[in-house]
């Protein structure tokens, strides 16, 4: 008998930010849990379920529970995921997401899970104390983003946005000298210290992790304003794709190395 079959079965609920890229990783984790016999209700909008339902490999254990996205100012009718709207300084999905708290909390009260996976729904842990479940804050955003923005060592003012210069200076204890912000990226994070919802998350640090630390990608050269031309993009693509390119060979070698690491059974078996 496999070791995991000896453990009691859990009821693990999941609710992620309203974007395909946030829901998809949870479905993969749900499959790993369901394989071990755990039941996994996933709370998601109808549109996300229609697009991602085929990823459910264990329909007897994984059940989708449809949640509705309330209509708020600025949100187009019928919009249910972040891909349904244009990126702008004001993201109405933040307001809609916040307005879903009562609906989601009520459903969790009915489901009575043992554990709830969440990312941006910061109000779920408060509900946990009333219903009695454990919570797991599972973020797909790279650890580097949190390490450079919202760790305790980053003193974020409560009465004003941070300045670009303040953001460019890594917090005390930040471990990398290469995965850091440039001036144009710092500008997009000046919302730190402002009420959540005034701008859109930007995970540009992932580029530096992939291109500088892991060396599985190349960064497109950009101007001081952060923009790049089609010629800049073409140059980056050729740098990787040309048969005689040493950069291309390096990227392929590192892809193979990290693919073996992240897709190996040892890593996936640690879930559940």
Please report where in the chains the tokens 């379920």 appear, as a residue: 49
CATH code, residues 7-140: 3.40.50.2000
Q: Are the CB atoms for 37 and 5 separated by under 8 Å?
A: yes
Using alpha carbons, list the distances in angstroms from residue 200 to 84, 188, 226. 14, 8, 16
- Residue-level pLDDT at 259: 85
Distance between CA atoms of residues 138 and 92, nearest Å = 23
Please state the pTM of the whole predicted model.
Answer: 0.72
Of 132, 128, 129, 106, nearest to 118 (Cα)? 128
pLDDT in tens, the chain (272 residues): 455 455 689 999 999 999 898 999 999 999 999 999 999 999 999 999 999 999 999 999 999 999 999 999 888 999 998 888 876 656 788 889 999 999 999 999 999 999 999 998 999 999 898 889 999 999 887 777 778 777 788 877 777 777 778 878 888 888 888 787 777 666 666 555 544 433 333 656 677 778 888 889 888 887 776 678 889 889 999 989 998 899 999 999 998 998 888 777 766 666 54
* Sheet (strand 40-44) strand order: 62-66, 40-44, 12-15, 115-118, 134-137
pLDDT at 69: 94
- The residue ranges of every structural domain in the chain are 7-140, 143-213, 218-272
Which residue intervals of 213-245 are DSSP H helices? 230-241
**Among all residues, which ones are annotated catalytic?**
22, 119
């Amino acid at each position: 008998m496999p070791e995991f079959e000896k453990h009691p079965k859990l009821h693990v609920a999941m609710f992620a930010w309203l974007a395909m890229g946030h829901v998809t990783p949870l479905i993969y984790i749900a499959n790993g849990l369901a394989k071990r016999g755990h039941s996994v209700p996933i709370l998601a909008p109808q549109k996300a379920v229609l697009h991602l339902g085929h990823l459910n490999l264990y329909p007897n254990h994984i059940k989708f529970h449809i949640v509705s996205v309330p209509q708020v100012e600025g949100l187009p009718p019928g919009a249910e995921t972040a891909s349904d709207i244009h990126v702008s300084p004001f993201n109405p999905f933040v307001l809609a997401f916040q307005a879903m708290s009562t609906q989601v909390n009520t459903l969790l009260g009915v489901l009575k899970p043992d554990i709830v996976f969440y990312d941006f729904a910061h109000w779920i842990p408060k509900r946990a104390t009333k219903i009695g479940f454990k919570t797991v804050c599972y973020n797909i955003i790279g650890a580097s983003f949190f390490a450079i923005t919202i760790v305790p060592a980053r003193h974020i003012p409560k009465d004003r946005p941070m300045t670009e210069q303040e953001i460019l200076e890594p917090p005390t204890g930040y471990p990398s000298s290469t995965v850091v912000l440039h001036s144009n990226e710092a500008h997009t994070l000046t919302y730190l210290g402002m009420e959540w919802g005034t701008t859109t998350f930007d995970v540009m640090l992932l580029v530096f992790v992939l291109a500088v630390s892991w060396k599985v990608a190349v960064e497109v050269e950009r101007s001081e304003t952060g923009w790049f031309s089609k010629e800049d993009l073409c140059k980056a693509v050729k740098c990787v794709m040309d048969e005689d390119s040493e950069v291309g060979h390096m990227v392929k070698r590192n892809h193979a190395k990290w693919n073996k690491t992240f897709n190996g059974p040892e890593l996936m078996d640690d879930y559940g």
